[in-house]
A = this chain, B = another copy of it.
Amino acid sequence: MPEVSKPRRAVVLLSGGLDSVTVLAIARGEGYAVHALSFRYGQRHVFELESAARQAARWGVEEHVVCDLSIGRFGGSALTDASIEVPQGRSEGEMSAGVPVTYVPARNTVFLAHALALAEVRGANDLFIGVNAIDYSGYPDCRPEFIAAFEAMARLATRSGTEGAALTIRAPLQRMTKADIVREGLRLGVDYADTHSCYSPDPTGAACGRCDACQLRLKGFEQAGVRDPARYAVG
């Protein structure tokens, strides 16, 4: 009888946004058995978590784990503190001028730390994250040097790391433009209508079209020559 090889396992950080859903499609396209991981961390809305749950089911993950986090309570970000306004209509120059108020302190470190814990318990050696260093909002924890440093740390942090398994942080979107990401996702069959990127949706979940995340997303679709199928508030 032919030997049946077991699929490799991966943990995929899944926010429900355009980037992380594309990463989920890439990991499944490579044949990984996927443990999807999302967080409730005091975000202003739950639309992205609802998209995450539907996309996890659609892409046939092994499990979709949703963790509650307390970091939102620490404050310091427009994404978790209703008293700080989400910027609208910023130019590209403004976006590249520094770390914006939507930055959630140490968020990707906390997310990846949880992914590492889940990976160790489930026997996964690959952690996927949808960070992007081209069309991004200036967050320090999206940069390639951060990802490389996290990987070096993770290999020392865990039982599997110390026993020789080559734990790897995969950031396949890292050097892609938003247009490249959209094209790759469409090739893999991603349904972008059910992805949520907006920082300031209206009460029905329609995207604002004007926050940094919406602007980067719309520019990506425009440059890919495709209409963004997500629902935007009119006006």
A-side residues, CB < 8 A to B, are 65, 67-71, 73-76, 99, 103-110, 112-114, 116-118, 120-122, 140-141, 143, 145-146, 149-150, 152-154, 156-159, 161-162
Residues of B within 8 A of A157 (CB): 106, 108-109, 140-141, 146, 149-150
Asked whether A121 lies within 8 Å of B68 as measured between CB atoms, the reply is: no
Pick 23 A–B contacts, CB within 8 A, sort by A. Answer: A67-B69, A68-B68, A69-B70, A71-B114, A71-B117, A74-B118, A74-B121, A74-B122, A76-B120, A103-B159, A105-B159, A106-B113, A106-B116, A109-B116, A109-B154, A110-B113, A110-B114, A110-B116, A110-B117, A140-B158, A141-B157, A141-B158, A146-B153
Residues of B within 8 A of A71 (CB): 67, 114, 117
Q: Which residue of B lies closest to A123 (CB)?
A: B76
A112 to B69 CA separation, bound complex (whole angstroms) = 14
